[in-house]
Structure 1
């Protein structure tokens, strides 16, 4: 038997040390529980090879196989440090390769296969060969040229292919089928080599050598058909050819000596054919192998004798799992199955080489504790010595994390029922938070809680820096924007933590790639207004067509005026199953906008009775608006719309790969500026288009639709997203993937929910490997479980995990991910609190985080991290009552006063040294409509817009805004045209032409309800007017600070009973009532003699649609002037400082105050106020108020009853409330 140099090879039994053999080892296995120790061993080996002349060509690159980009970059940095301890080292001439890709290419090259990407057996090319074969079968079947036996054989495959599209058309679903078939056949060749060999010999058997089921026989037949059409050896045939070449070709041995050993660094899960290739290379002396293996245990994973004989048994892998679970550490048994499988397969590789007479060397470098000790002090022996690191006891005072790692290293399976005193649970300091689990309510709370926890660590550890923190999550798309928003705080709003996301999609990084994807997505979309608007606001498009960010709001308003709902044109709508009507499509809307550039629409602001209905229209199309309402960018917007819609229409048609490449690039050149279609952006786009171009170069005659092209482009950018930016100086956010746990002092795991981990890997129903898995097959669920074990090994000081412990909507309890639950269970059974041994460790391990970041419980609980944000502290104090009214605005920040404001301004006006500035009535009313929006505009900030989705509605329905616009148009017509039938017959078409009514007969149906409501209003108006005609009058109030001027209409002048009547189709709400109250104050403050009069407001009721009449009595002139001055003073203050509330919230505050006084009974004042107030508390909160009062957004219910709101409510509505309470004003 061959000699073994060293003590053990992984789990192999101890053999006699025989270093006198005099031969260099062909297989070297270095094991450690830290990646740093493995990297140091690799650096030593590289130096030793150069110094001792083991590499014939010193300029030949040294090949190192790794799993991903992150590992290669980290390893290059570590090697540069290890090669020169002074800090000036450079890692050069080391070639890092992805393990599977490198070995696959090596097999193809040794088997004289086609170079580059021309191998038709690679999945990226095999899918197209499968497509050609299926298309030929489908066309033959359609021509009834298949016999009964053949038709029965291929029927399952043809059903999967489908018959809804043309046989040669590759849709997204068909492309997905092709990709799954190609991947399955590739996996068959790697993991079921014997099965594929039997297929090629004509024997239809599965991986267990059992006959294939009738519905699966088509797979073997398809594989044989592919062998006939592909002019290259199959993967299984190549493996046999490679074995023969390795035994026969002397130049391969010479090449291996020139290049040096092939080093495999922390790479697990290699398929059996690849391991066989490596074994053949070592056995034939072609190339030496070095494996650097990360393993948590320094001992074999179970105390089993005769392991060498066990490995030789046929069911060794299955039995090994059971023995490990019975005798090994419980955490390794639950989380380490995939890692154990890789280690056992490496053991089998070593055993086979030993039996072949190959020298094998084993070296161990295990670090006790949490792995944060100095490697220079802990490493024992050198490459030549090849000695095992001595087992070190855990140092005194070690953290929970370090003790757990030591237990894994020494396989100490602690249990309260153990008879061994050394295996009983150990005490842990209750302040030891080296392992912490945060139970939260929702993804946002996970991020907020993690931020507070990390801030606490940074505060308590002065030498800890953001670069020492690694955050990993199984759901990067969800948590990446949350992490950036929560961690990176603006200046002055709390501590800011920089974040660098490594797994960034190329689509998010490059706007040109994103634009290409958006165009392809919209080519198969309904083209609703909101989705197209998002595309029109793309940065590249705006730059090309000269549109600024300030134009976005005007762009939205113009699209609203165009009346577009969805659909490119009538033909596009018909293709989607809707009537082929042009109305409300993009082409129709563009025609209306273009007509507005040349034609004025007299009916734009409202239909005019004295104008013909056809005025403002041409060939059945009405102008979108008047020329005066168009901004200077209207022409550019039309050019942009035309270019974008043309591109979308062109991309909607299927075409070949070659045609897709030229068409997409041509459209982008028309839409993007030349400087944006160059440099890195162009390179990124070329990478995305590479799968198309590869197939185009081979003259593929199949047509692809846009969805299939988009799927291919996703494959093209997949390799570019991930593994970059681990060493940026900021906190690293990375995907939770195998071997991505780069060592950091703090490792945090976000989103460890049972819904997210282990991940459900969708497998096709025809996959024979998934149906009958065998030991050694890749198991995604077991790999996901091993991720927590890898994160545990990568953490050098602290491990923090968060999960959703309760549903944020329902409050239902939720479980952590299965791996995290296994970790908690292992810690509970192996450790207990030192202060309370009878209490479970859970109290100092799992923390229930409060529902809100400003919860007083988080600040009062010493175990929780507290808060490092002043606004959270203020909110907590407010909830506790210690500070019920925190400041509304940053201390000392006040905007400059408006002209004439303040005591100095008022004095200057009184002394005649300054003129009273003019203020229009509409300006005062618009301020109180939304005082917070007005303040934002005064600050120069962009006004906050409420989200609208007007583009998704169907043409046969009207949303609230469309109905309001329609009623605003109908009301003046109905006041002059009676009866309603005359209005319907004459004005339906003009309303349809302007997009206010849908086309067809449905317009008359939709007109019925608004006409009925408006008829009730106008009938009551006519009764009140009694044949009198109202007039308008301009009024001017010379106030203390302003001259308030406004034109009031609806004045009914008579000798005895003059009054003002306002008619509005909207519902009677506080905002509308305040507008009328301001006009009523101006009417009575500026009116002289007969001009002082009562006001009547006729609207629809809040809870129903019945007419409601609000009566406001005549006021004394001084009282009206005082009321106006109070409102003007509030406006002056509100333009410099945010008011406590708006009119809706103020009215609700008065209603609640009245309810507290009168009990809210029927006929009471509070009941009367409730007929006008909002129906729900959420209706009182405006977006602008929430933006300017972020600390009160979650406390609106309590804030309404606060003193500042009550004081402002009294200023706004106090006199009106008194009039309603006294019966002088009323609502009927």
Structure 2
């Protein structure tokens, strides 16, 4: 018996299945029920449902259709192997063996041209994979072509006549290997004939259920029908419509027919009913399958369930079930009485427009919390969240759902990620396989070294790894193993900034010790000492291992050699824990699978590194973690066939225009696109049907979100065409209660606005925290940020901290405070540091010098020049450090640095005549003892200099030293500060006055330890400068200093000052009195000088 059951509900089909099993159980407990399903997720759901219904679900097998049929082919037909000799993988390697010898034939000229210059045979590998995939499709969907080709014909191959020739050669090669001639094109008819033998029934199961499969190829249906003559076959089909809809077309298809045949007289396409527009547009996959079933004249039972009509979602499901079209243009368009009325509280279909994928997840989290709060019976297991590619959303899901506090935590699981996306070991293995094409950037190498299994193998912990990262940055490693490895990029040979360059600097520096500057072309890095040599050795050993592995991937090897190479990689790079061992077994299993395929194909030629790498990476990526689907949490998964399991809430994310439905361009030589037939698979048609299945499987709510606004410019973006069709359908056929008097278009717009919510750009938008409105948020941590714009600037301290006793104060400590009072307060009093200790990896050799690097190099030149040291040796040392751009650009930079520094050194010579003295400062100022030392005190002045432009902070620092000098009653009473292009002369200040000014600065220091101070030397200088130019523009100038501009930093770029003074008004109120108190005395005692 072959019985077909139609239903629009999997729950009804499940109940039918359960009842059939209950009424006629299999008496033998060792014989398993056979239930064909299309996915493991469906099998798991069905197993749980059967157990819930019957109390137990045991002795049940859930094979996939292809594996089930192949198993029974082998039981009915003679000499059927366990694995087909014409499986896709076997055909790929066989084609690689036979195709090169055939390229000289004229019919293969196109392929010969494509494979020209294919030195590593990677193009051949890719091409054979594509051809094998196409042949695999022909075996299922075009068996008549295969039969014709094997008999010497060339049906359908006029555009690509090489395909029948190559197939015959493939078949001949397989026969020469004495492998089975059976394949899916020739065994279906033989299987049907074999079933006529009465003895065949002895090897078949007692009965077979085929549950909820969306579509089957025609041959599969014929085979199942033939089985039905020997055993009971129950085909349970999810059919969204109770009426026959195998011939309906949507408006676009009808329009195409009219355009194509408009010249044909008396031809009317009105007989092609549209039926329900959504069913017509999205249901092609099911429509073709239904047509095939009807074509076979089968016994059918209908078991449809009417949805409870009360919401927009259930109404649309009912429309599809009854093949109704509520969107037909009504007679009256000036009102909406012809539309179906909806409750204004109806939220059964929701559309959420966001600015990014992260915002989609944040919004979803809040919306789910709201659903759970409003419906206590709704559980996380009742919700499924699907998207076109779960891997693209996985980081955001982890960031939002994993980090939610306990009171807002929602249990969740992520399915369908490849193993490499979940385990860093597999991702690192992929990087190792690609070493031959790697640039060995600092980022890539350190990311590989940071993988836990690799760190364990090398013998590193987090602390030692961070130290290595610091060393790598300091010795200026950027990319490349060495000059030889860089040659593959067709670049000039250069060692600078490579790993060998950096390792050599560290090794030489450790050997020579501190004080060495240049040795035999190497600039030693001398910061490594003592037991740190062991850590340096680990880094050097790891780099040697990478280079050794890279060399293995520069040449072809036989597969036996590749096995040794891969096993060495697993041994040398990884020390696995329990989870990592699973990943290593995945690699070994993939390698073993390749070995079996090569053996089956008798392929013994050497494999290139690119081929072996691509196969292993692809094989690992194809293994997904879908076993976690449906474990009692909110399920996040990729939209794929048979995810139409009933859920209370179905969420579709990433429904963006151009993203979904997904579109895979057909292979150029796929003959099925030239001669299409009903039932041919199309990714785009599959996705349309998946969307409709999701719509039908939602029991209470369909939640859709998409990126509807640009995160850059806020421009509107349209959703997926499927979402647009659903919205159009809703607004044309339905009206909110109370809007019946509005015109059809106006009521439609109102309904669209009711369904769609446009969310703000950020989660802390004030809109989410208003008492009235459509927006809400459960994330209370965003409330302070949301209120920031509407409230007054928060006062950092409501009252000053208690002052601490200050018996002594170092002169340099006072100077440091004046240079940045806010930082001093946070660092010294609060022990808070905002500095970013994270080292940002630099993956390119330097092309220019930043200001700090330029300053430090000038300082080295200046000191060397003043001390009459060998400048040529310094030139070589600096060039050998890898700080400068390469070649001529580096030399030009070096010449400029040297010129500026030597020019300043010449200007300093007249100021540094005589023997400098070192003067001790030991002043008692009130209750504070000010102590320190002043270097470079010449007979008539204190000399200060810097190879930079004169700035306000340097002026103020030198002013403090000048006051200390004057207060000490030294013979030397004047001070000179020299910069690259200017000098400042500080006039002598009477000792009493200097002491008084120092006392005020010390009081300011003490004040600055109890509260942050609104003072900045640069802004103070700007304040007085602008006062002299145009007093009316002082505030404007200060505001520019505070906020900065697109071309210059402001005080708000200082994290310490920004934390204490977030707004200009509180800052400037305190700043002006402090500027006049601290900086103005300086201006009255200095003379500025410019160079000629």
Deviations 1:158-207 (A, max 9, x none): 22223141xxx332x4432221111011112222222222222222231x
User: Is 1:991 aligned with 2:878?
Assistant: yes
CA-CA distance at 1:244 after TM superposition: 5.3
1:826–1:509 Cα change, 3 Å: same
Q: Does the 8 Å CA contact 1:35/1:743 hold for their aligned counterparts?
A: yes
CA-CA distance at 1:329 after TM superposition: 0.9
Kindly tell me the number of residue pairs found equivalent between the two proteins: 1052
Match of 1:451 in 2: 365
1:419–1:1171 Cα change, 3 Å: closer
User: Is 1:495 aligned with 2:411?
Assistant: no
Q: Does the 8 Å CA contact 1:690/1:716 hold for their aligned counterparts?
A: no
2: CA distance, partners of 1:869 / 1:237: 58
1:68 aligned to which of 39, 45, 69: 39
1: CA distance, partners of 2:198 / 2:920: 106
Match of 1:898 in 2: none
2:219 aligned to which of 273, 293, 296: 273
Match of 1:944 in 2: 836
CA-CA distance at 1:266 after TM superposition: 1.9
CA-CA distance at 1:515 after TM superposition: 2.6
Alignment of 1:142-161 (within 5 A): 146=104, 150=105, 152-161=106-115
1:246–1:813 Cα change, 3 Å: same
Q: Single out whichever of 1157-1166 and 775-784 deviates more from structure 2.
A: 1157-1166
SS at match of 2:161: helix
1: CA distance, partners of 2:851 / 2:69: 63
2: CA distance, partners of 1:486 / 1:831: 36
1:1160–1:115 Cα change, 3 Å: farther
1:114–1:1150 Cα change, 3 Å: farther
2: CA distance, partners of 1:541 / 1:927: 43
**TM-score with structure 2 length normalisation?**
0.85
SS at match of 1:574: helix
Match of 1:343 in 2: 290
Gaps of 5+ in 2: 250-267
2:303 aligned to which of 364, 386, 392: 364
SS at match of 2:351: strand
Match of 2:12 in 1: 37
SS at match of 2:36: strand
Q: Does the 8 Å CA contact 1:512/1:681 hold for their aligned counterparts?
A: yes
1:1176 aligned to which of 1046, 1049, 1059: 1046
User: Is 1:621 aligned with 2:596?
Assistant: no
1:1214–1:1175 Cα change, 3 Å: farther
1:846 aligned to which of 728, 749, 756: 756
1:188 aligned to which of 138, 142, 165: 138
Deviations 1:350-405 (A, max 9, x none): x1xx4xxxxx2414142413xxxxxxxxxxxxxxxxxxxxxxxx3xxx22222222
Match of 2:968 in 1: 1089
1: CA distance, partners of 2:1089 / 2:1078: 12
Deviations 1:803-839 (A, max 9, x none): 1222111332211001111111111112112133323
Match of 2:88 in 1: 123
Q: Does the 8 Å CA contact 1:756/1:817 hold for their aligned counterparts?
A: yes
CA-CA distance at 1:1034 after TM superposition: 6.0
1: CA distance, partners of 2:658 / 2:803: 65
SS at match of 1:597: helix
2: CA distance, partners of 1:41 / 1:726: 24
1:366–1:629 Cα change, 3 Å: farther
Match of 2:489 in 1: 576
Match of 1:481 in 2: 395
1:646 aligned to which of 548, 551, 574: 548
1: CA distance, partners of 2:1074 / 2:777: 38
Q: Does the 8 Å CA contact 2:12/2:303 hold for their aligned counterparts?
A: no
Match of 1:813 in 2: 716
Deviations 1:1176-1216 (A, max 9, x none): 38955999949x99xx9xxx9xx843555557867996756
Deviations 1:697-729 (A, max 9, x none): 556333334443333223323453142323344
2: CA distance, partners of 1:487 / 1:430: 31
Match of 2:1063 in 1: 1201
CA-CA distance at 1:74 after TM superposition: 1.7
Match of 1:885 in 2: 793
Match of 2:236 in 1: 292
Match of 2:167 in 1: 223
Q: Does the 8 Å CA contact 1:1081/1:1124 hold for their aligned counterparts?
A: no
Q: Does the 8 Å CA contact 1:1028/1:1052 hold for their aligned counterparts?
A: no
CA-CA distance at 1:621 after TM superposition: 3.0
1: CA distance, partners of 2:21 / 2:579: 44
Q: Single out whichever of 851-860 and 179-188 deviates more from structure 2.
A: 851-860
1:726–1:304 Cα change, 3 Å: closer
Match of 2:603 in 1: 700
Q: Does the 8 Å CA contact 2:41/2:643 hold for their aligned counterparts?
A: yes
Alignment of 1:370-381 (within 5 A): none
Match of 2:704 in 1: 801
User: Is 1:874 aligned with 2:764?
Assistant: no
Match of 2:945 in 1: 1062
Gaps of 5+ in 1: 1-25, 139-145, 306-320, 355-359, 370-393, 605-613, 895-900, 1101-1106, 1134-1138
User: Is 1:781 aligned with 2:684?
Assistant: yes
1: CA distance, partners of 2:15 / 2:929: 82
Match of 2:420 in 1: 507
1:926–1:1080 Cα change, 3 Å: closer
Deviations 1:940-959 (A, max 9, x none): x99634663423236x7656
Match of 2:460 in 1: 547
2: CA distance, partners of 1:334 / 1:458: 34
Alignment of 1:482-881 (within 5 A): 482-489=396-403, 491=405, 495-603=408-516, 614=518, 617=519, 619-628=520-529, 631=532, 633-673=535-575, 679-695=581-597, 697=599, 700-837=603-740, 838=742, 839-840=747-748, 841-860=751-770, 862=772, 864-879=774-789, 881=790
SS at match of 1:801: strand
CA-CA distance at 1:217 after TM superposition: 1.4
CA-CA distance at 1:655 after TM superposition: 2.3
Deviations 1:256-290 (A, max 9, x none): 2xx232222221232222222222222xx233322
SS at match of 2:626: coil
Q: Does the 8 Å CA contact 1:975/1:1018 hold for their aligned counterparts?
A: yes
CA-CA distance at 1:509 after TM superposition: 2.7
Q: Does the 8 Å CA contact 2:33/2:61 hold for their aligned counterparts?
A: yes
SS at match of 1:847: strand
Match of 1:170 in 2: 121
Q: Does the 8 Å CA contact 1:61/1:93 hold for their aligned counterparts?
A: yes
SS at match of 2:588: helix
1: CA distance, partners of 2:648 / 2:725: 23
In angstroms, what is the RMSD of aligned CA positions?
4.4
1:1118–1:1155 Cα change, 3 Å: closer
1:519–1:808 Cα change, 3 Å: same
Q: Does the 8 Å CA contact 2:944/2:958 hold for their aligned counterparts?
A: no
SS at match of 1:212: coil
2: CA distance, partners of 1:186 / 1:543: 44
Q: Does the 8 Å CA contact 2:414/2:635 hold for their aligned counterparts?
A: yes
Match of 2:255 in 1: none
2: CA distance, partners of 1:695 / 1:937: 67
CA-CA distance at 1:998 after TM superposition: 5.9
**TM-score with structure 1 length normalisation?**
0.77
2: CA distance, partners of 1:1123 / 1:447: 54
1:196–1:696 Cα change, 3 Å: closer
1: CA distance, partners of 2:270 / 2:977: 86
1:775–1:990 Cα change, 3 Å: same
Match of 1:412 in 2: 324
SS at match of 1:446: helix
1: CA distance, partners of 2:975 / 2:794: 40
1:603–1:112 Cα change, 3 Å: farther
CA-CA distance at 1:423 after TM superposition: 10
